[in-house]
A and B are shown apart, each in its own frame.
Chain A
Amino acid sequence: EIVLTQSPATLSLSPGARATLSCRASQSISNYLAWYQQKPGQPPRLLIYDASNRAAGIPARFTGSGSGTDFTLTISSLEPEDLAVYYCQQRFSLYSFGQGTKLEIK
């Protein structure tokens, strides 16, 4: 079973700041990693697939990077609507999610 560990658990930043979210896999997963955004009361939304490809309609301020075991989601300039929990997910061996990073906007 592949375990994904996200850090930090909570991130509190001001609008306009840069957010960096990390996801580490327990073994190499190549680039088979996706990122999702879940706003309060809503289902998750696919942001990034295959580590670095933005899904349809996702703003350019969301960028994914990494391969192997270490991955990063960067939000270049935070907007108030980016308040959400962000999950990473691997599809290298079955499927699993990280525990999430809660992004708070000051």
Chain B
Amino acid sequence: QVQLVESGGGVVQPGMSLRLTCAASGFTFSQYGMHWVRQAPGKGLEWLAVIWEDGTNIKYADSVKGRFTISRHNSDKTLYLQLNSLRAEDTAKYYCAKARYNSGDFDSWGQGTVVIVTS
């Protein structure tokens, strides 16, 4: 079955960087788009970024464009999110999610990794 496992979260100071990783298994990773979605404490879901199958088509939410970078390594079945210039408002649980085939719905989700930005 599909499994997505995020890692790389932690506690950082404002202005610092982190790289989140999502290890995928149970499906042909190279054939699916992948997304990052976050959820601030007690708040709703916020879509952040998508990278399609071959990594050439990438889109970002305006809130993170220019600060966050999504990438993937199909041979390793791994998805990444580089978070730069972190702000307090980036504090959240970050989920990776698999796109439903040829679609933009999210049909599988990881358990998430927590990022806390605090001075």
- 1/0 per position for B87-119, CB-CB distance to A under 8 A? 000000001000010011111111110000000
Taking a contact as CB atoms under 8 Å apart, the answer to whether A55 and B107 are in contact is yes
A63 to chain B, nearest CB (A): 17
**Interface assignment of B32: CB less than 8 Å from any CB of chain A:** no
Taking a contact as CB atoms under 8 Å apart, the answer to whether A49 and B103 are in contact is yes
**Interface assignment of A43: CB less than 8 Å from any CB of chain B:** yes
- A79 CA to B45 CA in the complex, in Å? 24
Chain B contacts for A87, CB-based, 8 A: 44-45
**Interface assignment of A94: CB less than 8 Å from any CB of chain B:** yes
* 15 A-B pairs whose Cβ atoms sit less than 8 Å apart in the complex: A32-B104, A34-B105, A34-B106, A36-B45, A43-B110, A43-B111, A44-B45, A46-B105, A46-B108, A85-B44, A95-B47, A95-B50, A96-B47, A97-B44, A98-B44
Give A residues with C-beta under 8 Å from B.
1, 32, 34, 36, 38, 43-46, 49-50, 55, 85, 87, 89, 91, 94-100
Name 13 extra pairs, CB < 8 A, besides A85-B44, A89-B106, A95-B35.
Answer: A43-B95, A43-B109, A43-B112, A50-B105, A87-B44, A87-B45, A89-B105, A91-B103, A94-B59, A94-B61, A97-B44, A97-B45, A100-B45
Counting from the closest, the 5 A-B pairs by CB-CB distance are A91-B104, A43-B109, A95-B47, A34-B105, A97-B45
